[in-house]
A and B are shown apart, each in its own frame.
Chain A
Amino acid sequence: RKITFEKQWFYLDNAIGHVYGTTFEVTSGGNLQPKQEVEETTTETKEAGTDNRNIVDDGKSQKLTHDDIKALKDKGIKGQEIVQQLIENSTTFRDKTEFAQDKYIKKKKKKYEAVITIVKPSTRILSTMYYAREPGKINHLRYDTLAQMLTLGNVHAGSKMIVMETCAGLVLGAVMERMGGYGSIIQMYPGGGPVRAATSCFGFPKPFFDNLHEFPLSKVQSLLSGTFTTETLPEENAVVEEESNGLSEEKQSSLQEAEEEPATETPMEINPTEEQDTMDMNAEDVEFKENKEKENKENVREKQIKQWERRKKLKEAAALLREKNADGLIVASKFHPTPLLLSLLEFVAPSRPFVVYCQYKEPLLECYTKLRERGGVINLKLSETWLRNYQVLPDRSHPKLTMSGGGGYLLSGITVVLEKGKPDCSNSEALKMEEPSSKRCKLQDLPC
């Protein structure tokens, strides 16, 4: 299979069998495996200037023309040699300081010596990658912010977590990695199905998906009010009636098969509308097709089994939620966090942490206020992290770039037993308790 990466294309076949972390050089079409450590290009930097007082930018310091360089490239000459040529044909190179020479070489190397390192997927790699490449898909959730969420949420093996995310499944994957297949996760999803494009990049083993459940967000209200039944899902009603005769035995056996391999289905990104459409079509055409072809009949039955399977999983998820004893709640979505939190916190046990991510601070301010009004939470904290990368080289250490603002904000806290009946009392007391300065109390008492 042909893969494109950074204006290069290659086949992955040659990479199989090597350990993770191996570096490859791209040749015309395939992969070549060079040595782990490319020997330092021994450009003798003996001759070097001390400052740039005599270096004039006349645009003529490089004696090779564009065409010359292109010719070198077309000849398939090694990148290393092209860099060497460029250095030799630079009139100012010798006058540059040692540090500037170093920088020049590095820049050219980057351009002409294309090397690719293949690494194992992890939250570290994937979250860094998503933030750099497709920040829009993960609501600009920076990787250090994701790290905070996992820690603040006390995500660990054996927990029962509720995750509501619209980050392409990246947050879900991060939680799954930290739980290592122990415990259970209920993913709340908007629309027709959960998005798990990033989750599948982790390459989790199948058993990790055994205790991964999903539940539609649109059914949360009915579940909370106790009117939830799986019968309310229209497409599935039809299926149940149809499969009632004769098929049940066969269905059982193939059901077991399906149970053994749930992972093959779950990590795929399900396109909600499409699936819905095909289902409706099938329901309508069932009679027509049944008469016509046996093959089609089996297709339909497979669909029915799949639906039955989904319904069963949905029931399981509903049952898990109904226990209202989840060990934590993680929210990172494009939706307004307040209604999500006010509803989903109902499913969380007391003395458990929760974390909400939002790209913007203002919705979290409102969420903070509403949670205070509701009660049942303590230690509310609104925070943000700043991340600074450093260049560390002898005599040239300094910060690289500041990343602030763009990483999003977190609201975290701990649930406690919610006392019903006298919310006013506990509320005012809680306020007093958490406001140390009398001045702040005064401000909040003001009518707004």
Chain B
Amino acid sequence: MSFVEYGDTIKDGDTAIVFLGHESMFPVKVQHGTVTQTKYGVIRHSTDLIGKKYGSKVTCSKGGWVFILHPTPELWTLNLPHRTQILYSTDISIITMMLELKPGSIVCESGTGSGSLSHALIRTVAPTGHLYTVEFHQQRAEKAREEFREHGVEHLVTVTNQDVCKNGFGVSNIADAVFLDIPSPWEAIGHAKSALKAEGGRICSFSPCIEQVQRTCLVMEEYGFTEINTLEILLRVYNVRTISLQIPDLGKAAEDNSSTGFDSCSPSHQGSPCANLQQGTVQFKSGVPLREVVGHTGYLTFATKS
């Protein structure tokens, strides 16, 4: 296993994702002799995990079962231990595309935070690119280093423990892209510019508040960045459900019912409305939005140095 390379079987030392069902999962570090408790019973690593194929169904001691999944940056994002507020895959995907990242890209990031974005960046720039990430909080920086080592990606990332607003990224003229997720990004724009390659590159700043965006945009303009563009991306998830609506009784005779347009159809015909005349209901499949959704994460401001 590695976060940048698929493996077929589970090995000692791997990080694997235990999938319990319906968005319920957690990561485990696979180790000989270790056991993991789940609500379906105990998983014994030596016998239940090591040597098995990723994607297998594993039966736990109480007879329940779980799936063991290969780690990906997206699954990690959903399962990582939070040390800070993190970026989720929706924002990460647009950041990756708008920064034009690909294998071989050199990226600078600050702050590292919980490493949610870092894992996605490393995955994209591997095997020939590199991530320089700066975190001013010593403990967080240390923890991130440890995780990168455990996940087999330490050769692709350099974690620096310093204040990016004061000391910059510790590199100059080598980056293809810079990403900022700090409270005062405008103070780091100058450093970002000098970290970017002389021939140019892309920059992105993530801020929750519009006032932060305004200050950042002004400073970007001052430093000669072009193509300044601010956007926001929101994810809508739908539950797929079969809905049944009752047909109101308007006092019509039974014969009339068949001509109301809700002709009964065979049960095998999925997806289209069908009526159950006995019960006086119409059934159909629908994508129902979740009751509560994320309304705002942050504004993403992109710009080009050329």
Contact = CB atoms under 8 A, between A and B. Distances in A.
Contacts of A368: 240
A390 B19 contact: no
6 contacts: A178-B103, A366-B285, A386-B233, A390-B231, A416-B55, A416-B57
B54 interface: yes
Interface stretch (A2-10, A261-269, A434-442): A434-442
A179 to B, nearest CB: 7
Interface in A156-212: 156-159, 177-182
Given A144-B233, A147-B97, A351-B55, 11 more contacts: A20-B306, A37-B224, A151-B120, A157-B127, A158-B5, A182-B103, A369-B240, A392-B213, A392-B230, A397-B210, A417-B57
Interface stretch (A84-92, A225-233, A283-291, A377-385): A377-385
The 8 closest A-B pairs by CB, nearest first: A350-B55, A180-B103, A21-B306, A351-B55, A433-B21, A151-B93, A351-B54, A147-B97
B123 interface: yes
Nearest to B77: A151
A15 interface: no
Interface string A414-444: 1111010000001000100111100010011
Contact of B127 (A182, A327, A386, A397): A182
B270 A179 contact: no
Contacts of B230: 389-390, 392
B212 to A, nearest CB: 11
Contacts of B72: 154, 353
Nearest to B216: A392
Contacts of B200: 19-21
A443 B124 CA distance: 42
Nearest to B284: A448
A22 B226 CA distance: 11
A384 B301 contact: no
A56 interface: no
B146 interface: no
A180 B103 CA distance: 5
Contact of B97 (A124, A158, A353): A124
Contact of B283 (A144, A386, A446): A446
B302 to A, nearest CB: 9
A448 B270 contact: yes
A378 B56 CA distance: 12
A393 to B, nearest CB: 8
A279 B141 CA distance: 63
Q: Taking chain A's interface residues, is the majority helix, strand, or loop, or is none over half, making it mixed?
A: mixed
A431 B67 CA distance: 14
Interface in B2-35: 4-6, 8, 19-23
B69 interface: yes
Size range of the chain A interface in the assembly: 35 or more
A19 B199 contact: yes
Interface in B28-85: 53-57, 67-70, 72-74
Contacts of B123: 154, 156
B4 A156 contact: yes
B138 interface: no
B142 interface: no
Contact of A365 (B4, B70, B271, B283): B271
Contacts of A399: 232
Contacts of A19: 199-200, 306
Nearest to A412: B74
Interface in B210-229: 210, 213-214, 217-218, 224, 226, 228-229
Contacts of B240: 365, 368-369, 380, 382
B89 A362 contact: no
B100 interface: yes
Interface in A295-354: 325, 327, 349-353
Contacts of A436: 22
B267 A447 contact: yes
Contacts of B102: 177-178, 180
Interface in B94-108: 94, 96-98, 100, 102-104
Interface of B: 4-6, 8, 19-23, 53-57, 67-70, 72-74, 89-90, 92-94, 96-98, 100, 102-104, 120, 123-124, 126-128, 199-200, 210, 213-214, 217-218, 224, 226, 228-244, 267, 270-271, 274, 276, 283, 285-287, 299, 301, 304, 306
A445 to B, nearest CB: 9
A154 to B, nearest CB: 5
Nearest to A368: B240
Contact of B236 (A152, A386, A447): A386
Contacts of A430: 21
Nearest to B127: A157
A146 interface: yes
A258 interface: no
Nearest to A145: B93
A384 B8 contact: no
B69 A414 contact: yes
| Most chain B CB inside 10 Å of its own CB: which residue of A144, A387, A443 | A144
B22 A365 contact: no
B143 to A, nearest CB: 24
Contacts of B53: 350-351, 417
Contacts of A22: 306
Interface in A351-380: 351-353, 361-362, 364-366, 368-370, 378-380
Given A37-B224, A433-B22, A387 B231 contact: yes
Given A397-B214, A416-B55, A151 B92 contact: yes
A206 B57 CA distance: 42
A419 B57 contact: yes
B120 A327 contact: no
Nearest to A429: B65
The CB with the most chain A CB atoms within 10 A, among B97, B271, B304, is that of B97
A385 B127 contact: no
A446 B242 contact: yes
A122 B96 CA distance: 12
A148 interface: yes
A390 B232 contact: yes
Contacts of B127: 157-158, 182
